[in-house]
Amino acid sequence: MQHVKANDGVSLPAALDVSGVNHSYGQKQVLSDISFSIAPQRFTVLLGLNGAGKTTLFSLISHLYSTRHGTIRIFGHDVGREPGEALRRLGIVFQARTLDLDLSVYQNLSYHASLHGIGRREALSRITSLLAQIDMSDRLYDKARSLSGGQMRRIEIARALLHRPPLLLLDEATVGLDIRSRAEILATIRKLVVTDGISVFWATHLIDEVEETDHVIILDKGRVLADGRVDDVVRSCGASSIRDAFATLTGVASAPAGGASR
Amino acid sequence: MTLQSATGPVPAMERGFSARQYLVCLKGILIREGLRFLNQRERFISSLVRPLLWLFVFAAGFRQVLGVSIIPPYKTYVLYEVYITPGLCGMILLFSGMQSSLSMVYDREMGNMRTLLVSPFPRWFLLVSKLLAGVTVSIMQVYAFLAIAWFWGVKPPWTGYLLVLPALFLSGMMLCSLGMLLSSMIKQLENFAGIMNFVIFPMYFASPALYPLWRIQESSPLLHKICLANPFTYAVELIRFALYGQVDWGSLMLVVAFTIAFLGGAILAYDPSIGLLSRKQDTGGNA
């Protein structure tokens, strides 16, 4: 089992350890020999173009698909062998909106709490606290349908944190949001790493969401092309920025502002 | 916006779940299904209109044409309305079970299913809980129908209303399990029309819901054999006997056997390590 040093120097099992993972849909291979580790209490970016295999990888990590080749461990718990122990340590924000639009914010959140065995009283206390922190206390009993895209995303992030997971996965969490909402959500998640020691695995195709101090994993056509600190990846490619490094590694012409997409 | 993980540092995690936590999860799934049902009033009304049309229009029209001789569990000649009422109860369960499967396909397409499937509780427990929620909603619809039918002159003994509950539960479990199994095979919501034409209608018409088996045997031995192979036949007979305070043991055993088979199949189908979903990559998102 991979052990890594956390921000405070303590040796902990890796927040996420992916080893030798392959996945295919029929004859089409979408992930090939994926291996990497994510240190606890770090912000790690999974950077890749649309179709690189990010969502498939997330589906394997969250046990929606089974891992037929290779192993995935969350804080030392094998997702295939101990899915319950692995999943209770995992909070997920999916790319697609997953709130039930016919239910209220409270009903959506309390449903999630019950799916983690959290009783009504405790759930209400956590929901109230989380909504206060995202300035949405007044929307507690509003239907999810009445929320804007950015508000829905904030509720989904609050929902992912409701059961206090030490690892948070976000799949293209800022897609479809305006610049302000994107910046707010990204800043919030980054702050969680510092204040709460949560490990974050952030999948995106937007290069401007990557910072110098991040750990970055570049995924392209189902293969890991780079894995390390952003400055190390940039240096090893002989590039001047992560944008150039990405372009060099993937063979794509330098990406337009903000996006890695072709 | 600032967030903490529900306030406070990440606590050390316990292993496994207590019985109370399992109950909390079950209750949450039941409440969610109930709320969804309440939010879709037209679904409740349409679920009642369909059997009531059969009772008020079809049965009234065919009363004079389709005589029913004395057959168990009836001790006297009964009106055609009385005869088809258990079949209509079964019809509600059948449509509701399939509608529940439709909602699972919808949930998958909309992504809501993912929130259920990434719960740390065992997958079989989550599916059985969802099944129980669907059956509970179906049974409420059946009782609403029986209450209206009472005013139409369909008056089984009072004890029948109580004794039919376990029969409705078992039949509902069987039909919802079948729906769940079918939902794992349907890739898109549009394919549900096929289920309607190839599963629901054949199951309903090739059963003793509308006419006794002996009549079917007289008119078509082949159709009679098909009826005997149809699980819905036994659900209808189980409900019919229970409504009149009797147990049809043969139907009971077959309904239990079919339930185990369909439920086992559904659990296997939704198990990511062996199921159909990961092969079809249709859990509701991009691959």
DSSP collapsed to 3 states, chain B:
CCCCCCCCCCCCCCCCCCHHHHHHHHHHHHHHHHHHHHHCHHHHHHHHHHHHHHHHHHHHHHCCCCCCCCCCCCCCCCCHHHHHHHHHHHHHHHHHHHHHHHHHHHHHHHCHHHHHHCCCCCHHHHHHHHHHHHHHHHHHHHHHHHHHHHHCCCCCCHHHHHHHHHHHHHHHHHHHHHHHHHHHHCCCHHHHHHHHHHHHHHHHHCCCCCCCHHHHHHHCHHHHHHHHHCHHHHHHHHHHHHHCCCCCHHHHHHHHHHHHHHHHHHHHHHCCCCCHHHHHCCCCCCC
CB interface of B with A, residues 198-227, below 8 Å: none
Q: Do B25 and A126 touch (CB under 8 A)?
A: no
Q: CB-based burial of residue B8 (10 Å sphere; 0-12 exposed, 13-18 middle, 19+ buried)? A: exposed
Say if B269 is an interface residue toward chain A (CB within 8 Å): no
The more confident residue out of B78 and A122 is A122
Is a pLDDT exceeding 90 seen at residue A2?
A: no
Size of the A and B interface in Cβ pairs below 8 Å: 176
Q: Residue B247: is its pLDDT beyond 60? A: yes
pLDDT class of B110 with cuts at 50, 70, 90: low
User: Chain B contacts of A89, Cβ < 8 Å?
Assistant: 13
pLDDT at A206: 92
Residue B287 reports pLDDT greater than 60: no
pLDDT given at position A254: 57
pLDDT attached to residue B285: 38
Beta bridge partners of A92: A169
Whether the pLDDT of residue B6 is over 60: the answer is no
Pair A159, A109: CB distance under 8 Å = yes
Instruction: Read off the pLDDT of residues B148-170 as tens digits, 9 standing for 90 and up.
Output: 999 988 888 999 999 999 999 99
**Would you state the pLDDT for residue A11?**
62
Q: In whole angstroms, what is the distance from residue A59 CA to residue A55 CA?
A: 6
Share of residues in chain B with pLDDT > 70 (%): 80
Min mean pLDDT across A72-76, B26-30, B175-179 is at B175-179
| Contact residues on chain B for A65, CB-CB shorter than 8 A | 272, 277-278, 281, 283
Name which of A49, A59, A62 to mutate to probe chain B: the one with the most chain B Cβ atoms within 10 A of its Cβ: A59
Q: How confident is the model at residue B267 (pLDDT cuts 50, 70, 90)?
A: confident
Mean pLDDT calculated for residue range B5-12: 44
pLDDT value of position A7: 53
Query: Does A119 lie at the interface with B, CB-CB under 8 angstroms?
Result: yes
Predicted local confidence at residue B167, as pLDDT: 96
Query: Six-digit token pair at A81?
Result: 């062998």
Average pLDDT over every residue of A27-38: 93
Q: What are the strands of the beta sheet with A43-47, ordered from one edge?
A: A90-93, A167-171, A199-204, A43-47, A215-220, A223-229
**pLDDT per residue as tens digits for the range B23-36:** 999 999 999 988 88
By the 8 A CB rule, do A193 and A161 touch?
no
* pLDDT of A257: 46
User: Average pLDDT over chain A, rounded to whole?
Assistant: 89
Mean pLDDT on B89-114: 79
**Predicted pLDDT at A124:** 95
What's the mean pLDDT in B210-228? 86
Alpha-carbon Rg for chain A in angstroms: 18
Q: What is the mean pLDDT of residues B178-186?
A: 81
User: Given pLDDT bands bounded at 50, 70 and 90, which one contains residue B192?
Assistant: low
Q: Which range has the worst mean pLDDT, A32-41, B99-108, B143-152?
A: B99-108
Cβ of B281 within 8 Å of Cβ of A65? The answer is yes
**B136 interfacial to chain A (CB closer than 8 Å):** no
How many Å lie between the alpha carbon of A235 and the closest alpha carbon of chain B? 32
pLDDT of A1 reads 54
Residue to substitute from A7, A25, A42, A64, interface B, most B β-carbons within 10 A:
A64
pLDDT at A17 over 70: yes
Determine the residue type at A98: T
Q: pLDDT tens digits for A198-257?
A: 999 999 999 999 998 899 999 999 999 999 999 999 999 888 999 999 999 988 765 544
Average pLDDT over residues B259-271: 87
With a pLDDT cut of 90, the percent of chain B lying above it is: 35
- What value does the mean pLDDT take over residues B38-45? 78
* Tokens describing residue A130: 């989380």
What pLDDT, in 10s, does the model give residues A175-202? 888 888 889 899 989 998 999 899 999 9
Share above pLDDT 70 across residues of chain A, in percent, rounded to a whole number = 92
Q: What pLDDT, on a 0 to 100 scale, did the predictor assign at position A261?
A: 44
Q: Does pLDDT of B135 surpass 70?
A: yes
Query: What average pLDDT score do residues A50-60 get?
Result: 92
Residue B286 predicted with pLDDT over 60:
no
Any chain A CB within 8 A of the CB of B45?
no
pLDDT of residue B216: 81
